[in-house]
Structure 1
Amino acid sequence: MSEAATKPHDTAAALAKVHADIARACAEANRDPASVTLIAVSKTFGAEAIETAIAAGQRVFGENRVQETRAKWPEIRTRHDGLSLHLIGPLQSNKAKEAVALFDAIHSVDRPSICEALAKEIAKQGRAPQLFVEINTGAEPQKAGILPEDADAFLRECRDRYRLTIAGLMCIPPFDESPAPHFALTAKIAARNGLKLLSMGMSADFATAIQFGATHIRVGSAIFGARG
C-alpha cells in the first residue's frame, strides 16, 4: 500500500485550503470573504473529526438528519461555545419540533406542511432558526424543493399565511449540469423577493457559487475527506 493511501486525512490543513480558496474566489468577485459563511458539512463524521475542525477554528457545521444530529451534537456543544448548526438535508414535518430545538438554521423549507409545523414550533419554543427556502432549479423529480416558477407564490405564502421570516434561498444544481445557470436563477429569485442570503455551492463548485453571490457555502469532503 502506498504512503498516500495510508496517510491520515489532515482536517486542519484541508480547512485552511478551503479558506484560501474562498479568499481567492472572493477576490475575483470583488467580495469581502467575511460575506461568505463556510458551513462544514459533518454528516456521517464522528466527534473526533468535528473536534479537529473546531480546534482549527471552524464554528458553523451542517448536518443532513435530525436523528444523527441529536445523537452526536448535544455532547459536543457542552464542550464548546459559539457553535452554529445548520440543517441542510430534507426535513419531515414530524421532525420539526426537534429541528427547531437543535438547529440555528434550516435550509430545506419546501412545502406548506413544513411551514405549518415550523410556525407552530417556533411559536411554542420561542426559538426561531434562520430559514431558507429550497429551490429545485433543475426540476429534478427525485429532489426536494420548490420549482422556480412556484417560488414567488410560495414565499408569499410563507410570509403571509404562516408568518415565517425567510432569510434566503438554497439550491443544489443537477450533478451533470453546469452549476452557474442554477446559481444565477436562484440569485434572481432571491433578489426579486428581497432576500439577502443564498445557500449555494458545495466542495466542487463553491468558487462558482461565490461569483453568483453565495453567502453560505456547504463544504464537506473538501474539509473532512471522502466519506466511507
Structure 2
Amino acid sequence: MVNAASRLAEVRSNIARVCKPARRGPEDVTLIAVSKTHAADVIQPLIDVGQRVFGENRVQEAQGKWPALKAAHPDIELHLIGQLQSNKAEEAVALFDCIHSLDRPSLLTALARAMDKAGRRVPCFVQVNIGDEAQKGGCPIGDLPAFLEQVRATDIPLAGLMCIPPADIEPAPFFALLAKLAADHGLTGLSMGMSGDYETAVMLGATHVRVGTALFGTRG
C-alpha cells in the first residue's frame, strides 16, 4: 500500500525535477494538499510527514475538521480553493489563511467588510475564467483589468491569479495565458495545476499547485 510519505515524496520530487529546466527552485512552488472530502484521520498522516499547506473547497466542510487540526498544528496554512458565496465571507476570513476564488465585485465587497470586522487581512488570488466557460466561476478575461483595479483599491492583499483550465483539453496554453495576464498586471503569484497537470503548470510558472488525488489517492 502506498503511504502518505511516499506519495508526498513523489510529488515533491516531480516538482523539483520540472523546476530544473524551468530554471526555478522547488522552494518557489507551494504544494497545496487538497484535502476536500477527506476526514481528519486521513489528513493526519500527511501532516505527520511534514505537509503544512492544505486546501479545501467548502467553508462548511472545513469548519468540521480544521479548527482542531490547526489548534494541534499552529503552523498549518489553510487555503480556500473552491467557489465562495458572499454570505460565507466572514466564516472564510475567520478560518482560512488564503483565498483562491475572488472573482466578482460583490464578493470583493463582502470580503473587505469581513476582513475589516475581523481585523485580519487574508491574501486573495483573483480567479480568472481562463476558458470562458459559462458553468465555471472566475472573472472574465475582458473584465480583469477593471476588477484588479477594484481589488487594489481595497486593502486586501492581492496574491496573484488563479485558474482551472477546461477539462479534457491540453492545459498548457491556458496556463501560459494566465502567466501572461499576471505579468501584464505586475503579479507574480500563479495558482494553477492539479494532480493531472501540476508538472506542466510548474514548467509554466505556477507558484501554487493544488494537488489532491496524487497525495490522497482515489476515493473508492
TM bin (shorter chain): over 0.9
8 Å contact 1:11–1:49 — kept in the other structure? Answer: no
CA displacement 1:1-30 (0-9 Å, x = unmatched): xxxxxx4x4122111100110110101211
Is residue 216 of structure 1 aligned with residue 203 of structure 2? no
1:125 is matched with which residue: 112, 118, 129?
118
Aligned to 2:217: 225
Measured in 1, the distance between the counterparts of 2:104 and 2:164 equals: 17
- Structure 1 residue 163, shift from structure 2 partner: 3.9
Question: Could you say which residue in structure 2 is the equivalent of 1:76?
Answer: 69
The reply to whether residue 142 of structure 1 matches residue 135 of structure 2 is: yes
Unmatched 5+ stretches in structure 2: none
Give 3-state SS (helix, strand or coil) of 1:28's partner.
coil
Query: How far has the Cα of 1:166 moved from its partner?
Result: 1.2
Give the RMSD, CA atoms, in angstroms: 1.0
Q: Which digits, 9 at most, give the CA deviation of each residue in 1:89-120, with x for residues without a partner?
A: 00000000000000000000001110000000
Partner Cα distance (2:168, 2:25) in 1: 30
Matched, 1:37 2:37: no
- State the match for 1:164 in structure 2: 156
* 1:78 shift after superposition: 1.7
Distance 1:20 1:177 in 2: 25
Cα 1:83/1:141, change in 2 over 3 Å? same
Post-superposition CA distance 1:159-179 (Å, at most 9, x none) = 22x443311000000012111
Q: How far did 1:150 drift?
A: 1.4
1:24 equivalent in structure 2: 17
Q: Which runs of 4+ in 1 moved over 3 A?
A: none
Aligned partners of 1:186, 1:116: CA distance in 2, in Å?
24
The answer to whether the aligner puts 1:60 opposite 2:60 as a matched pair is no
Q: Aligned partners of 2:18, 2:41: CA distance in 1, in Å?
A: 30
Q: Secondary structure at the match of 1:122?
A: helix
| Aligned residue type for 1:171 | C
1:167-186 correspondence to structure 2 within 5 Å: 167-186=159-178
1:17-45 CA-to-partner distances (Å, cap 9, x unmatched) read: 00110110101211110000000000000
> Which one of the candidate residues 75, 91, 97 is aligned to 1:104?
97
Rounded Cα–Cα distance in structure 1 between residues aligned with 2:200 and 2:130:
16
* 1:54 partner amino acid: I
Indicate if the aligned counterparts of 1:44 and 1:227 stay in contact, CA closer than 8 A. no
* Structure 1 gaps, min length 5: 1-6
TM-score, length of structure 1 as denominator length: 0.94
* In structure 2, distance between residues paired with 1:158 and 1:130: 11
Question: If the length of structure 2 is used for normalisation, what is the TM-score?
Answer: 0.97
- What are the Cα deviations for residues 155-207 of structure 1, in whole angstroms up to 9, with x where unaligned? 011122x4433110000000121111111111111111111100010011111
1:210 Cα shift? 0.7
Matches of 1:196 and 1:130, distance apart in 2: 13
Distance, in Å, in 2 between the alignment partners of 1:155 and 1:46 is 36
Identify which range, 124-133 or 213-222, moves more after superposition.
124-133
Q: Which of 33, 40, 47 is the matching residue for 1:47?
A: 40
Equivalent residue number for residue 3 of structure 1: none
* Corresponding residue SS for 1:146: coil
Percent of aligned pairs with the same residue?
57
